[in-house]
Structure 1
């Protein structure tokens, strides 16, 4: 489905943009500084959000359709064609402002993760300038823990963008912009509505982030060795 079709390219685009940007920024700014991590994470997040928003829109529409009708009435291709015929190409980018706002979550996640990784490296008194820890089992579990902590913090801070993004992608919705959506949700449902579904989101995202970051570190280590 669109969820599987979206995750792989989204992660690939993100890490490709993040790694490339960080590598280039390290040559012109203070290497491995917070500024480098923030700019690299922002570049990765914006690139990924822009290129994969149509996939997430189709996924959201299909989920909402299944919730209303009790079953998935159309497949991903049919849903995409319906969006194109009724809303045009612009329809595929409904909710893109929320996705861009969600880049803040990515930035927070990576800044905290890189800071934790730096502290872990320093605690080992490692003289190596390598950005990754040695590839033994205990180190990867530590990296997974750092990723889980950083993802939890970032998600709790920036979660409202997920709620806004879902509302904006609804077909024929009365939500028109990111700020207007947040204001409308708060006015009609209260501030806590901005965190509806947070627990389920954390249960899904924390293991995902932990495994993803440990895998990323392994790939970086193997590529640089």
Structure 2
């Protein structure tokens, strides 16, 4: 084998350098690509760990803020759902829209009329019963809302962490959201049903000489005395059915929030709030809060009939010496038979006027409080 000169060895070394480095370079490139992909997935799928007590406190504060602002609409909704007030607050929507040949015009006209009548009812309550009557039931409502929202947000946030780690390698998914929302809904309904029972009875109590309860405490004592402790859990089956609304809302909210987060990462290359301007942070906060309202709007329309049934069960009217509504399915049958299917959506307009802004305020406040408390 002929000997190579120094120049030939040098030329061979230069030519072979790219091949010697190719394996290392390609391996590094593969590792970098995998890390980038994993980092992107973590940015989108992952979620910061929040202490359980923070969820509990933030949920209560958010629920309280929303309940105070929207209490008058809750009063109107409850009265429209009951049969005590169905003749007093009678809708005339069908007679106003019967001449229209276009469904879209009918729907718009009917919605406008319901909005007008809702405001009219608020005006009547104010004139006939006074300003304070607009906030009837606010006491038990707050007593119910604060622990209810605290329990709901606490259970949802905590179980989401647990379910994610136990079933999905610490990552979130629609199934994890579904399981967490169902757990939170059932826990909340069981713990707070007696409070909502009292709130409903107080809101349906007429003013003046016919008034049955002096206050919420008097209502509680009366229910236990005449109906027993089990009377405090009337409507619980409908509340469990109603947890479907909360489940659907959480699912829709999480998906909308994921879309907002994904778009933020695509735009900025990260989801770090610290590196965004104040305007950008406020804009995304408004988007997330608005998503909560939209999710509630959709969930409410889909699941609203349970609200009417639950109110009737808690109202517990007597007919011919017997309790008229005795169970979930029986109540559905009686209401539809006597009043028609449209009655299952009685009070929907004030309900939406209350729950949609309520959700926006509640989730927006919840998020702000979480950020503040997480810094402690």
Give the TM-score normalised by structure 1. 0.91
Alpha carbons of 1:51 and 1:187: their partners in 2 closer, same or farther (altered >3 Å)? same
By relative contact order (CA 8 Å, sep 6+), the higher-ranking structure is: 2
Structure 2: where are the runs of 5+ without partners? 1-138, 319-323
Q: Tell me how far 1:4 sits from its aligned partner.
A: 1.9
Give yes or no for the alignment of 1:164 onto 2:309. yes
Structure 2 contact 181–246 (Cα < 8 Å) conserved? yes
Q: Residue 40 of structure 1: CA displacement?
A: 0.8
The structure 1 residue matched to 2:197, chosen from 46, 51, 57, is 57
Q: Do the aligned residues in 1 keep the contact of 2:264 with 2:271 (CA within 8 Å)?
A: no
The Cα of 1:222 is off from its aligned counterpart by 4.0
RMSD: 2.2
Q: How far does the alpha carbon of each residue in 1:97-143 deviate from its partner, in whole angstroms, 9 at most, with x for none?
A: 0000000000000000000010111112264599xx99821111111
1:85 counterpart = 2:213: no
Task: Give the direction of change, closer, same or farther, for the CA distance of 1:129–1:86 in structure 2 (3 Å limit).
Answer: farther
The answer on whether the counterparts of 1:66 and 1:73 sit within 8 Å (CA) in structure 2 is no
The Cα shift of 1:178 comes to 1.2
Instruction: Please name the residue that 2:289 is paired with.
Output: 144
Segments of structure 1 that go 5 or more residues without pairing to the other structure are none
Q: Which residue of 2 aligns with 1:175?
A: 325
* CA shift digits 1:173-206 (9 cap, x unpaired): 4111111111211111111111100010010111
Corresponding residue of 2:148: 10
**Is the alpha carbon distance of 1:68 and 1:205 closer, same or farther for their aligned partners in structure 2, counting shifts above 3 Å?**
farther
Give the Cα–Cα distance (whole angstroms) in 1 for the partners of residues 255 and 225 of structure 2. 47
Distance (Å, rounded) in 2 between the aligned partners of 1:194 and 1:29? 39
Is 1:193 equivalent to 2:343 in the alignment?
yes
1:66 and 2:175 matched: no
1:40 aligns with 2:180: yes
1:26-68, Cα deviation, whole Å (9 max, x unpaired): 1022321111111111111111111111011011111222279
Farther-moved stretch of structure 1 (186-195 vs 170-179):
170-179
TM-score, reference length from structure 2: 0.56
Match of 2:56 in 1: none
Whole-angstrom distance in 2 between the partners of 1:63 and 1:211 = 23
Instruction: Answer with 1 or 2: which has the greater Rg.
Output: 2
Aligned to 2:358: 208
Inter-partner Cα distance in structure 1 for 2:316 and 2:348: 23
Q: 1:199 to 1:205 in 2, by over 3 A?
A: same
Asked if the contact 2:159–2:180 (Cα under 8 Å) also holds between the matched residues in 1, the reply is: yes
In structure 2, relative to structure 1, the CA distance for the partners of 1:171 and 1:138 (3 Å cut) is: same
- Work out whether residues 37 and 110 of structure 1, in 8 Å CA contact, stay in contact via their aligned partners in 2: yes
Query: 2-side partners of 1:169 and 1:68: how far apart?
Result: 22
Give the deviation of 1:84 after TM superposition. Answer: 0.5
SS in 1 for 2:166: coil
Q: Secondary structure of the residue that 1:26 maps to in structure 2?
A: helix
Contact 2:198 2:220 in 1 (8 A): yes
Contact 1:61–1:171 (8 Å) recurs in 2: no
Contact persistence 2:316–2:325 (CA under 8 A): no
Contact 1:42 1:103 in 2 (8 A): yes
